[in-house]
Structure 1
């Protein structure tokens, strides 16, 4: 005999909260992406890539670690890094900290690009999230996000919990 699984459907209030979370996941990245494209000519994925590199000693990370860190397929990361190499923002090569593995390294031009892009991005993050929520609700949202990420992908949660993660 086959065991039947009963789906624990969401209550009406849970559905409304879930719809709000789904709306946040869809709209916030799109708005931040548009701001970065408009103000600095890069997209949100590229910005996160530069931030990840800037937060590491020597500004370099093995490509495989970078892909995990920013939740990217190797193919998407490779295409983005190629675009950013053409712009002069990153360079690929052997990663000194990881033996012979190929890594991405932040160039001086990439660090300058990040310095130019960061103020506008931070203003938009403050406007939409930080100042809008205030300290208590922001802390609650951060705690909730860490809890979900820890369950969804413990490896990413560990990466984000590192003191040098951005």
Structure 2
């Protein structure tokens, strides 16, 4: 039987700080978006992703990948956005099995209205606290962590 690969003291400290960031920053962004825009962070991410497309459309499966969400979770989020009139779903005319999420004009207006407050929150929570060199380091660290993510056995 293999011995566990225990964290070193330094790794343990870094890991706990990383977990704290993973918990506190998303919670703060969720609170800001709920309070100021009446939308969840995942809902905002979906709206923003669709708004960046010239045709404001994306297959649900691709949207799920871009939002780092399961198709099931994305479906629930999109259903809530549909109820608000911000998104609608259509069948792909070339492949009826594929659903397309489409940002409505009202949804686009919602992103435009919500973006300044969200950007300010991200600035305050993250980038105001980092030097330009640290921002570059953060980008490299994130790229490394996201590169070919391994599954835990």
TM-score with structure 1 length normalisation? 0.84
Cα contact 1:129–1:138 (8 A) shared by 2: no
Correspondence 1:11-160 to 2 at 5 A: 11-95=8-92, 99-100=95-96, 101-152=98-149
- Cα shift at 1:79: 1.5
Any idea what SS the aligned residue of 2:16 has? helix
Tell me how far apart the structure 2 counterparts of residues 150 and 61 of structure 1 sit (CA, whole Å).
Answer: 24
Partner of 2:2: 5
Stretches of structure 1 that go unaligned for 5 or more consecutive residues are 154-166
Tell me how far apart the structure 2 counterparts of residues 55 and 147 of structure 1 sit (CA, whole Å).
Answer: 25
**Alpha carbon RMSD of aligned pairs, Å?**
1.5
Cα contact 1:60–1:95 (8 A) shared by 2: no
Tell me how far apart the structure 1 counterparts of residues 92 and 33 of structure 2 sit (CA, whole Å).
Answer: 28
Stretches of structure 2 that go unaligned for 5 or more consecutive residues are none
- Cα shift at 1:17: 0.5
Partner of 1:156: none
Tell me how far apart the structure 2 counterparts of residues 106 and 134 of structure 1 sit (CA, whole Å).
Answer: 36
Tell me how far apart the structure 1 counterparts of residues 91 and 55 of structure 2 sit (CA, whole Å).
Answer: 13
- Cα shift at 1:95: 3.9
TM-score with structure 2 length normalisation? 0.91
Q: Deviations over 1:97-137 (max 9, x none)?
A: x7442110111100100011100000010011112112111
- Cα shift at 1:7: 2.0
The structure where helix makes up a greater share of residues is 1
Tell me how far apart the structure 1 counterparts of residues 142 and 92 of structure 2 sit (CA, whole Å).
Answer: 31
Runs ≥4 residues deviating over 3 A = none
- Cα shift at 1:9: 1.1
Tell me how far apart the structure 1 counterparts of residues 119 and 102 of structure 2 sit (CA, whole Å).
Answer: 23
